Amino acid sequence: MCGRTACTLAPDEVSRACTYRNRGGQRRQPRWKDGDADKYRPSYNKSPQSNSPVLLSQRHFDQSAPVDECVLASMQWGLVPNWFKENDPKKMQYSTNNCRSETILEKKTYKDPLLKGQRCVILADGFYEWRRQGKDKQPFFIYFPQSTGVGAKQETEDESQSSDTETEAEWTGWRLLTMAGLFDCWTSPGGGERLYTYTVITVNASSNLEGIHDRMPAILDGEEEVRKWLDFGEIKSLDALKLLQSKNILTYHPVSSLVNNSRNNTAECLQPVCLDRKKEPVPTASSKMMMSWLKGGSPQKRKDIVETGKEQIKDKSETEAKRAGLIDQWLHGTSKKPKQRLYGAERAAGLFQLRQAAVQ
Per-residue pLDDT of 104-145, as tens digits, reads 999 999 999 999 999 999 999 999 999 998 889 999 999 999
To the question of pTM greater than 0.85 for the whole model, the response is no
What does the pLDDT read at residue 312?
33
What does the pLDDT read at residue 135?
86
What does the pLDDT read at residue 292?
41
Task: Tell me the pairing of strands 43-46 and 20-21.
Answer: unpaired
Q: How confident is the model at residue 24 (pLDDT cuts 50, 70, 90)?
A: confident
What does the pLDDT read at residue 353?
39
**CA neighbor of 34 nearest in space, from 18, 66, 11:** 11
CA distances, 209 to each of 74, 162, 215, 219 (Å) = 29, 42, 8, 13
CB neighbours (10 Å) of residue 165?
A: 15
Q: For residue 235, how far is the Cα from the chain centroid? A: 24
What does the pLDDT read at residue 23?
80
Residue 296 pLDDT more than 90? no
Q: Output the CA torsion sign for 157, 160, 161, 165.
A: positive
Residue 329 pLDDT more than 90? no
Residue 164 pLDDT more than 90? no
Min mean pLDDT across 140-144, 156-160, 334-338 is at 156-160
Give the domain ranges of the chain: 5-268, 280-359
Across 256-276, average pLDDT: 91
Min mean pLDDT across 159-168, 211-220, 272-281, 285-294 is at 285-294
SS3 percent helix, strand, coil of the chain, rounded to 5, is: 30, 25, 45
What does the pLDDT read at residue 57?
95
Across 152-178, average pLDDT: 59
Residue 9 pLDDT more than 70? yes
Q: How confident is the model at residue 150 (pLDDT cuts 50, 70, 90)?
A: low
Min mean pLDDT across 161-165, 182-186, 247-251 is at 161-165
CB neighbours (10 Å) of residue 197?
A: 23
Residue 148 pLDDT more than 70? no
Across 297-307, average pLDDT: 32
**CA neighbor of 104 nearest in space, from 248, 243, 211, 222:** 243
What does the pLDDT read at residue 169?
63
Q: How confident is the model at residue 96 (pLDDT cuts 50, 70, 90)?
A: very high
Please name the residues in contact with 64: beta carbons below 8 A apart, sequence gap of 6 or more: none
Across 42-49, average pLDDT: 95
Contact 28, 70 (CB under 8 A): yes
Please name the residues in contact with 329: beta carbons below 8 A apart, sequence gap of 6 or more: 286, 290, 351, 354, 355, 358
Instruction: Please indicate whether residue 38 or residue 289 has the higher confidence score (pLDDT).
Output: 38
φ, ψ dihedrals at 259, nearest 5°? -70, -15
Helix 299-312 × helix 285-295 angle, to 10°:
180
Percent of the chain past pLDDT 90, that is, above it, reads 58
What does the pLDDT read at residue 275?
85
**CA neighbor of 18 nearest in space, from 2, 36, 31, 37:** 31
What is the C-alpha separation between 343 and 341, in angstroms, rounded?
A: 6
Q: How confident is the model at residue 223 (pLDDT cuts 50, 70, 90)?
A: very high
Residue 163 pLDDT more than 70? no
**CA neighbor of 332 nearest in space, from 265, 258, 255:** 255
Fold designation for 5-268: hypothetical protein yedk fold (3.90.1680)
Show which residues are catalytic: 2, 129
Residue 11 pLDDT more than 80? yes
φ, ψ dihedrals at 170, nearest 5°? -95, 130
Contact 10, 37 (CB under 8 A): no
Q: For residue 46, how far is the Cα from the chain centroid? A: 10
φ, ψ dihedrals at 348, nearest 5°? -65, -35
What does the pLDDT read at residue 348?
43
Q: How confident is the model at residue 1 (pLDDT cuts 50, 70, 90)?
A: low
Q: How confident is the model at residue 171 (pLDDT cuts 50, 70, 90)?
A: confident
Min mean pLDDT across 61-70, 79-88, 148-157 is at 148-157
Instruction: Please indicate whether residue 313 or residue 16 has the higher confidence score (pLDDT).
Output: 16
Instruction: Please indicate whether residue 172 or residue 101 has the higher confidence score (pLDDT).
Output: 101
Across 80-91, average pLDDT: 91
